[in-house]
Structure 1
Amino acid sequence: MKRLALITLALAIAAPAAAQMQITPIAKPKLAEIPLYPASKDADNEQWEHYSIHYGQLNMENDIVRNVTRPTITPYLPDPAKATGAGVVVAPGGAFLQLSMVSEGEEIARWLASQGIAAFVLKYRLNESPRDAKAYSKFMGQRMAQATQPGAADKIKEPRATQDALTALAMIRNRAKEFRIDPARLGMIGFSAGAMTALSATLEGQGDARPAFIGYIYGPMTAVTVPADAPPMFAAIAMDDSLFKKQGFAIADAWRNARRPVELHAYERGEHGFGAGRPGTTTTGLLPQFADWMRMHGWLKSSATPTH
């Protein structure tokens, strides 16, 4: 699997000087994107790059985008014959500086669609970063190193990402008939910074504006104040996560203490950024377990048409 979060961790934590890393500019892929703000006058500053890193046994590649100023969603819709009526907004991670559009976006969305779940990859706005690849590599390494410090990850935020998530949820619900989903069964799954974005949409959104459920994948594990009507949470993290392994499971405890449904998966190995699953570890069960959890809650009904 392609995991950029683990790539940056290798640079920030292991031995940056010994790692062989290459960043190559690439053309923007052809995506069936839908702008969240069609009338936006912001300049389109995004840049796409391919990362390749080799460090010891670590050999990883990924396509990422950064300096996003025009947010979009890209639908990945299931075969109508298999559609369940459920939908999931997929929020990739990348420290609010980049988005892992393949390992935490497209790969996740395609798997969900194969299970009859409509998926929508959210390309949300990011903090500005150096356009030069070498300068950016150093900048990102510093950011990830800072994120390993106690409490630091909670301060790495991009409020516009939350706004984009809530706007995406509203847009998809407004077009539910077109996407063949039930608006009441539209949730989110986020990875790292994407998990933080899903969480913020849950905590800051009001009522039906929030996701109906959230997948919180290797986000910070610190406690939050949980609303009495918070949606169910599926949380997952690897016990050897270099960013958050020392935080315990306070966020899951907070959900449980608020008497809200929560399921926690703590995998023995997988590191940070395992995406759909790191080969050779039990993290490969992440997406099947998430789908089973959705099925348990009744969100995967055998119906291709919305109920609302």
Structure 2
Amino acid sequence: MTKTRIITLFLLLFAAAINAQQKVIPLYNGADPGSENWTYNEKVKEYNQPTFHGSVVYDVSRPTLTVYPADPAINTGTAMIVCPGGGFYILSMTSEGTEVAHWLNQKGITVFVLKYRLAESLTNDPATELFTNLQKKDFNEKIKSIVPLSIADGKEAIRYVREHAAEYGISPSRIGIIGFSAGGTVAAASAFKYTAENRPDFVAPIYGFLPHELQTDLAKDEPPMYIAAASDDQLGLAPHSVELYSKWLAAKFPVEMHMYVKGGHGFGMNKQNIPTDTWIDRFGDWLGELGLLKPIDPKVQVHLDEEEKNRKVNAERPAKDWAFIKKYEEENSKVPAPAEGENRVVFMGNSITEGWNSWGDPAFFTGKPYYDRGISGQTSGQMLVRFREDVINLKPKVVLIMAGINDIAENNGPSKLEDVFGNIVSMAVLAKSAHIKVVLCSVMPAFRFPWRPAIDPVPGIAKLNTMIKDYCDQNHMVYCDYFTAMADDRRGLPAALSGDGVHPNLAGYKMMEPIAEKAIAQALGR
């Protein structure tokens, strides 16, 4: 056997091994909503021409996701749904699908290639049929009924991936969608009229088509967006990219656009020896800037999964137990009356407080009369509602109150900083009336929220910390300043102290502990 044949055989076996790992998932259980009566079946055709090179899929009536898992050794916990283009008649599966998936896999990203629903082809040469239809004036009318179904498939893909995040080893707050041409329509449209279940965490429409009728008013937590296109786009779609970029920019949402002089429509992963060949490298740079190429600390990932679960539970709790008063009900019932001379301390807070004793550094609480009453994801209003049960009734000498970060992240919707500050003051007043000494903690540094990447937390944290410190100074209370000791040059948590930029790791908690002990001693001494 010649050396060339050996290499060829090896590559074929390697490709077969890779394909064996891939899983194809029907997007819907049972009939696909809106196309229940479609009778045509998915087909594949191979092309070898400049525009379409490789596999082209057509006649998709049953949408699916094909999974390309990241190597566990480099898995970042980030997921990407890839939507190939093709005018809602075909899917360019090679240069806008599988090649994109393999590139992302090399970055540690788990990929789900979406085959969304398409119009029925009437010939066995779907690419030529598409080009012919594009020349006709009624083309948009022909695909008018198809586009909403394709968009619905994109949103359902996001929902599915988020619901099954743990199964694929990904974070439910790191799910993005990228699409090309018509796939760009599917991707971009997912950034409009979304729910908590199908909201993308980042979006990348590449030479996408997004007319005004598919756009709605922007929400308050629009995801970051990356856009790429070419000025010489033969279909004249470059203005769609510019308009989308301008809309995000005007609303002050994170957005980046690369508009190339040359490249035409459909450049995808094709090599033309021009700058568009490197668009995906710039996309990789952008993902890196968002922190999506850095693996999440396993302990932090477990916590984020739990926080996502809590958010879902919280969404269903308002009519039952909005403030989660029952979380510590049994533990509180077992807390004895304070012993004589006992310097009992309660730590009231959110996930940073809860994580301290559950996965951060439980040893800090061992053998001390310290009680952790943090609840992941909670806002200041929820803490205020449960303050009597989880603090006052435990009769501590000191309470450390850490609140505000989840209000800034809008976990329960938009809120004014003045109202957040008011909730913190109300807790302090309640404690003081119960003869409990008060320590108000600074909001921790955070440059970006992994679960709310569109929100810039830095200004709100700075303003709220100033309000808290001034209140402590004016009312002779102790201000526990974690922020000054732990913030980096960006006013965020440095990587050495946190795996996700928000929640401290063991080193972060080790830095917090002497600051907390000093604040407790100051409060007891007053």
Give the TM-score of the pair, scaled to structure 1. Answer: 0.80
1:71 to 63, 82, 87: 63
Residues 1-308 of structure 1: matches in 2 within 5 Å? 32-40=23-31, 43=39, 45-53=41-49, 58=50, 61-130=53-122, 132-133=123-124, 136=126, 139-146=129-136, 158-220=147-209, 224-225=215-216, 226-244=218-236, 247=239, 249-303=242-296, 305=298, 306=301, 307-308=304-305
Alpha-carbon displacement from aligned partner over 1:52-106 (angstroms, at most 9, x marks no partner): 33xxxx5852211111011110111111110111111000011111111111111
SS of the residue aligned with 1:68?
Answer: coil
Is the contact between residue 196 and residue 220 of structure 1 (CA under 8 Å) also seen in structure 2? yes
Deviation at 1:216, TM superposition (A): 0.9
Identity of aligned residues (%): 36
* Residue type of the alignment partner of 2:252: R
Q: Mean alpha-carbon deviation: is it higher for 237-246 or for 248-257?
A: 237-246
Alpha-carbon displacement from aligned partner over 1:10-46 (angstroms, at most 9, x marks no partner): xxxxxxxxxxxxxxxxxxx986311112423764611
Shift of the 266–157 alpha-carbon distance from structure 1 to 2, 3 Å rule, reads: farther
Is the contact between residue 85 and residue 304 of structure 1 (CA under 8 Å) also seen in structure 2? no
Is the contact between residue 165 and residue 171 of structure 2 (CA under 8 Å) also seen in structure 1? yes
SS of the residue aligned with 2:131?
Answer: helix
* Residue type of the alignment partner of 1:144: L
* Residue type of the alignment partner of 1:170: R
Shift of the 120–242 alpha-carbon distance from structure 1 to 2, 3 Å rule, reads: same
Alpha-carbon displacement from aligned partner over 1:268-297 (angstroms, at most 9, x marks no partner): 211111112433111121222112111111
Residue 8 of structure 1 corresponds to which residue in structure 2?
none
Is the contact between residue 113 and residue 119 of structure 1 (CA under 8 Å) also seen in structure 2? yes
Is the contact between residue 83 and residue 303 of structure 1 (CA under 8 Å) also seen in structure 2? no
Greater helix fraction, Structure 1 or Structure 2: 2
Deviation at 1:246, TM superposition (A): 6.0
Aligned mates of 1:153, 1:271 — CA distance in 2:
24
Is the contact between residue 154 and residue 220 of structure 1 (CA under 8 Å) also seen in structure 2? no
Deviation at 1:207, TM superposition (A): 3.4
Shift of the 50–253 alpha-carbon distance from structure 1 to 2, 3 Å rule, reads: same
Aligned mates of 1:302, 1:202 — CA distance in 2:
25
* Residue type of the alignment partner of 1:46: E
Shift of the 246–209 alpha-carbon distance from structure 1 to 2, 3 Å rule, reads: closer
Is the contact between residue 45 and residue 67 of structure 1 (CA under 8 Å) also seen in structure 2? yes
Is the contact between residue 222 and residue 247 of structure 1 (CA under 8 Å) also seen in structure 2? no
Aligned mates of 1:304, 1:143 — CA distance in 2:
50
Deviation at 1:260, TM superposition (A): 1.0
Is the contact between residue 53 and residue 94 of structure 2 (CA under 8 Å) also seen in structure 1? no
Aligned mates of 1:123, 1:278 — CA distance in 2:
24
Shift of the 153–246 alpha-carbon distance from structure 1 to 2, 3 Å rule, reads: farther
Alpha-carbon displacement from aligned partner over 1:222-281 (angstroms, at most 9, x marks no partner): 664433321111000012111125627111101111111110001121111111243311
Deviation at 1:140, TM superposition (A): 1.3
Is the contact between residue 91 and residue 104 of structure 1 (CA under 8 Å) also seen in structure 2? yes
Aligned mates of 1:234, 1:174 — CA distance in 2:
24
Aligned mates of 1:232, 1:178 — CA distance in 2:
25
Shift of the 259–207 alpha-carbon distance from structure 1 to 2, 3 Å rule, reads: farther
Deviation at 1:177, TM superposition (A): 1.2
Is the contact between residue 67 and residue 128 of structure 1 (CA under 8 Å) also seen in structure 2? yes
* Residue type of the alignment partner of 1:161: S
SS of the residue aligned with 1:286?
Answer: helix
The count of aligned residue pairs is 273
Give the TM-score of the pair, scaled to structure 2. Answer: 0.48
Greater strand fraction, Structure 1 or Structure 2: 1
Alpha-carbon displacement from aligned partner over 1:194-242 (angstroms, at most 9, x marks no partner): 0100112221322342111101100137664433321111000012111
Is the contact between residue 220 and residue 244 of structure 1 (CA under 8 Å) also seen in structure 2? no
Is the contact between residue 229 and residue 238 of structure 2 (CA under 8 Å) also seen in structure 1? no
SS of the residue aligned with 1:81?
Answer: coil
Q: Which has the larger radius of gyration?
A: 2
Aligned mates of 1:111, 1:138 — CA distance in 2:
29
Shift of the 263–137 alpha-carbon distance from structure 1 to 2, 3 Å rule, reads: closer
Aligned mates of 1:191, 1:112 — CA distance in 2:
15
Unaligned stretches of 5+ residues in structure 2: 1-18, 306-526
